[in-house]
């Protein structure tokens, strides 16, 4: 009896130690628990090395941070990821999700900058990272990996790792897809639940990392004849958009661009398209940072090509939508161009030269207010040729 009693006491002691060790393994941290139509998996979020991406993900998942419904212009705070699908699967490599329209072509209405850490890389599987469309274009889309791919290091922001349910992640990456990598049967994220364990995790503030603030702001409407003046509160580094509708169900988005200098206007004139018209105004407030200008009017852009088309091209844009250029000492004119402003970048899509250079489409990623790197394509023939290099703007 004595030996049997001692044995059970010893076994109980071991059980307590084991239980404490198991609990201790998840004593500190922020965890995202995914419930999907193929099963459950959990990720530990690295808020120490990737605080922006974690704050953004937690804010969207819980509704603690507002996001923009880009279809209606409404600032919303419902749980963003619940009900979305894994819209893209690369077999045995990744499952990608976070697109409200299920096509991978939309965002939460804003972008935030990259934040890389030397300790985080794709040299192992089961990684949670942000999907993007270029530098500093993170939004809501993310992917989980089932294999290694070191080529992605410092290209996509890693903000977590899968800590349970790797078999489910593997299964997601093995579902049949069409030619566009879209699953033939929807894999649905039924719910994302955020768990905070430990004092540090509880103290992590999703509003303390310089992420954009999404709001709907009041409008003052003044009608004169068939023109309506929309007056709003404008701010530096604000991305302003107004939405119009005639029936409160089909909204049309109109972007006023990002204010990169102290705004000189807070009114926009809109032509009436119907006797009854409704308006909604959305504003995404960014922290002080560098942005592409609204237009290239009066700008001198110097492109220094590093690949394929080598040399320096100096372009002087006028104020009427054209300009002149000089490449390798030979002058010419800009036949046409289209400029698109994004938050941290802009795009010449395309730019057409009179002679000496082919038509090009260039994405310009700003690293400062007046400089950065560009990449894109030059169309010498039927097939595009990659081009890249650096650029500066003056004045």
pLDDT one-digit tens code per residue, 152-201: 999 999 999 999 999 999 999 999 999 999 999 999 999 999 999 999 99
CA 55, 62, 144, 130 torsion-angle sign = negative
CA 103, 214, 362, 128 torsion-angle sign = negative
Give which of 120, 69, 66 is closest to 241, Cα–Cα. 69
Identify the pLDDT of residue 23: 39
Q: Convert the pLDDT of each residue in 265-296 to its tens digit.
A: 999 999 988 889 999 999 999 998 778 999 99
**CA pair distance 37, 172, nearest whole angstrom:** 10
Mean predicted confidence (pLDDT) in 201-214: 98
Give which of 344, 395, 343, 393 is closest to 370, Cα–Cα. 393
pTM above the 0.95 mark? no
120 versus 21: which is more confidently predicted? Answer: 120
**CA pair distance 99, 374, nearest whole angstrom:** 27
pLDDT band at residue 15, thresholds of 50, 70 and 90?
Answer: very low
Mean predicted confidence (pLDDT) in 334-349: 95
Please say if the pLDDT value at position 4 is more than 50: no
Percent of the chain, pLDDT > 90?
A: 83
The helices-and-strands tally (H runs, E runs) of the chain is 4, 25
Q: Convert the pLDDT of each residue in 24-54 to its tens digit.
A: 445 689 999 999 999 999 999 999 999 999 9
Return the residue matching tokens 């089909």.
250
Q: Convert the pLDDT of each residue in 66-88 to its tens digit.
A: 999 999 999 999 999 999 999 99
Q: Average pLDDT, whole number, for the chain?
A: 92
- Asked if residue 74 lies in contact with residue 280, where contact means CB atoms within 8 angstroms, the answer is yes
């Amino acid at each position: 009896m004595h030996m049997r009693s001692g044995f059970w006491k010893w076994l109980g002691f071991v059980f307590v130690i084991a239980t404490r060790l198991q609990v201790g393994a998840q004593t500190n941290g922020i965890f995202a628990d995914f419930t999907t139509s193929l099963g459950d998996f959990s990720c530990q979020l690295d808020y120490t090395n990737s605080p922006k991406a974690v704050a953004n993900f937690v804010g969207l998942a819980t509704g603690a941070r507002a996001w923009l419904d880009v279809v209606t212009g409404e600032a919303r705070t419902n749980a963003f990821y619940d009900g979305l699908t894994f819209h893209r699967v690369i077999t045995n490599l990744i499952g990608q999700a976070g697109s409200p329209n299920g096509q991978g072509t939309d965002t939460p209405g804003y972008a935030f900058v990259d934040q890389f850490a030397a300790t985080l890389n794709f040299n192992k599987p089961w990684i949670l990272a942000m999907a993007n469309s270029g530098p500093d274009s993170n939004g809501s889309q993310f992917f989980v990996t089932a294999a290694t791919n070191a080529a992605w290091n410092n290209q996509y922001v890693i903000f977590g790792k899968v800590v349970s349910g790797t078999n489910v992640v593997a299964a997601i990456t093995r579902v049949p897809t069409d030619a566009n990598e879209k699953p033939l049967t929807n894999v649905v994220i039924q719910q994302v639940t955020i768990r905070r364990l430990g004092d540090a995790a509880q103290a992590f503030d999703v509003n303390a990392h310089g992420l954009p603030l999404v709001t709907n702001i009041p409008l003052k409407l003044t009608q004169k004849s068939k023109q309506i003046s929309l007056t709003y509160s404008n701010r530096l580094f604000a991305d302003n958009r107004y939405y119009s509708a005639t029936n409160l169900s089909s909204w049309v988005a109109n972007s006023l661009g990002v204010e990169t200098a102290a705004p000189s206007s807070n009114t926009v004139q809109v032509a009436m398209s119907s006797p009854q018209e409704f308006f909604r105004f959305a504003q995404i407030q960014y922290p002080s940072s560098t942005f592409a200008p609204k237009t290239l009017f009066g700008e001198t852009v110097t492109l220094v090509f590093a690949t394929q088309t080598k040399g320096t091209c100096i372009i002087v844009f006028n104020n009427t939508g054209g300009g002149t250029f000089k490449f390798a000492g030979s002058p010419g004119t800009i036949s046409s161009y289209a400029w698109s402003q994004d938050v941290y970048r802009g795009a010449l899509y395309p730019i057409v030269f009179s002679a000496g250079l082919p038509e090009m489409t260039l994405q310009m990623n700003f690293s400062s207010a007046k400089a950065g790197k560009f990449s894109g394509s030059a169309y010498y023939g039927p097939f595009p040729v990659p081009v890249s290099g650096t650029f500066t703007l003056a004045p």
